[in-house]
């Protein structure tokens, strides 16, 4: 199955609204406090947040085990469903390609229609390797929308713009370091191919 064009447009539109990346509360022993996490997700949904991103950097993505990250996605999905809310989940995924792909599929099985791919953490990622990493994950989940999370100023607008050409579900970019020149290099059409947040 592939992401339908009308669904892709809906997801790009919702990405232009408020997107929250909740913290993952921890107990004193360092384990996630899932009850508090569920209440936090519920408060965000009740406040009208339209996109909630479990497993973002603020959510301790790299500090969570793979099982804990899956639990965060599940807990967020359950908290939204219990309120019969229509907030979208944008689940953070990453690490190696197989792990990110499995996490993406898990997110989809729990109601997420989008994933946000954390960039590889290796300091010597080639431009082509960076592109190939994201394309491999996005291509494995063609029924999900994909947002690229960029924290590396070496990524150019041209590299980012190549993503939707090679993996159509790519529909958004969020950046912790995006410069105006990088953002300006992204393709703009009458109906943007990507939603952007800076």
pLDDT at 198 over 50: no
Q: Taking Cα atoms as reference points, which of 77, 70, 79 lies closest to residue 110?
A: 77
Q: Taking Cα atoms as reference points, which of 59, 137, 141, 57 lies closest to residue 100?
A: 137
Tell me the whole-structure pTM to 2 decimals. Answer: 0.88
Measured distance CA(101)–CA(124) in Å, rounded: 22
Structural domain that includes position 89: 5-197
The pLDDT, as a whole number, for residue 196 is 47
The pLDDT, as a whole number, for residue 183 is 57
The CATH number of whichever domain residue 97 belongs to comes to 3.20.20.70
User: Residue range 129-149: average pLDDT?
Assistant: 92
8, containing H or E segment: helix 5-15
Cβ-based burial of 180 (10 A; exposed 0-12, middle 13-18, buried ≥19): exposed
Q: How many domains does the chain have?
A: 1
Measured distance CA(196)–CA(64) in Å, rounded: 27
């Amino acid at each position: 199955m592939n992401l339908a064009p009308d669904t892709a447009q809906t997801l790009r539109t919702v990405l232009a609204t408020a997107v929250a990346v909740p913290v993952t509360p921890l107990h004193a022993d360092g384990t996630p406090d899932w009850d508090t996490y569920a209440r936090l997700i519920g408060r965000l949904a009740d406040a009208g947040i339209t996109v909630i991103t479990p497993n973002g950097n603020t959510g301790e993505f790299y500090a969570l085990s793979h099982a804990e990250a899956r639990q965060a996605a599940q807990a967020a999905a359950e908290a939204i469903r219990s309120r019969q809310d229509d907030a979208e989940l944008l689940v953070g995924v990453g690490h190696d390609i197989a792990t990110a792909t499995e996490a993406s599929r898990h997110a989809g099985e729990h109601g997420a229609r989008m994933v946000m791919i954390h960039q590889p953490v290796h300091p010597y990622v080639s431009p082509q390797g960076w592109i190939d990493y994201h394309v491999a994950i996005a291509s494995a989940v063609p029924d999900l929308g994909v947002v690229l999370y960029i924290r590396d100023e070496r990524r150019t607008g041209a590299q980012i713009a190549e993503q939707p050409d090679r993996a159509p579900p790519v529909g958004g970019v969020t950046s912790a370091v995006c410069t105006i020149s990088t953002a300006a290099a992204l393709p703009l059409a009458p109906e943007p191919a990507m939603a952007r947040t800076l």
